[in-house]
Amino acid sequence: VQRALRELVADGVIERKRGSGTTVAYNEERIAEPWHMRFYRADEKDANFLPVFTRVLKRVKLKQTGPWTSELGQTDGAVVRIDRIFSINEELDVYSVFYALSGRFPDLEGLPFQALKGADFKLLIAQHHHVPVHKVVQAMRFEMPPDYVAMESDCVAGQMTMVLDVTAYSHDGEPIYYQNYYIPPNKLRLDLGTAMRD
């Protein structure tokens, strides 16, 4: 039990303080430059983007296939899946599911949760693995949110939700990651332009 608690502390999932006991860690931190979650208020013409905070919910390795399979070119290997909440100005919670081929970007699998909160995955991949995003393809669709999405975000169970699908590609056209954002109904505006870097 003590070893398990030490591992949870190392991952940033729980905090242990002498005299206060053990508590679940507050795992939300502001992300510096989100590309896909750039919301602003409809009445603000200068488009000041609202701050975005992220919280990591889980990280798993999957062998099965899914919508990400063709997007990532998954053959017989596994993918790493990371579920997060994107809190827009702490007033709108968007559920995000991120996929990348397992083993391609070891930091996504090896870093503790504490290091992933507030992390910009595209920058992490570019800086640590020298694979910058060159092109992004975005598509919008509507679906009923899965129960786990409705439980953790502002999406409503049984109510159609907008889903933004994003696939990022490297300079040579190889897919880097595939990501879904479940966006609840809201009064904000979402800027779908992408500020690409050279």
Query: Three-class SS of residue 46?
Result: coil
> Tens of pLDDT along 116-135?
888 889 888 988 899 999 99
Cα 109 to the center of its chain, rounded Å: 14
Task: Indicate the pTM of the whole model.
Answer: 0.81
Stronger pLDDT, 158 or 7, i.e. the higher one: 158
Evaluate if residue 175 carries a pLDDT over 90: yes
Q: Which of 99, 171, 166 is nearest to 137 (CA)?
A: 166
AA identity, residue 90: E
How big is the chain by its Cα radius of gyration, in Å? 17
Which pLDDT does position 22 carry in this prediction? Answer: 72
What number is the average pLDDT over the span 140-153? 95
Which pLDDT does position 198 carry in this prediction? Answer: 45
> Tens of pLDDT along 18-34?
666 775 555 555 666 67
Q: Who's near 183: CB < 8 A, 6+ residues apart?
A: 94, 155, 161, 162, 163, 164, 190
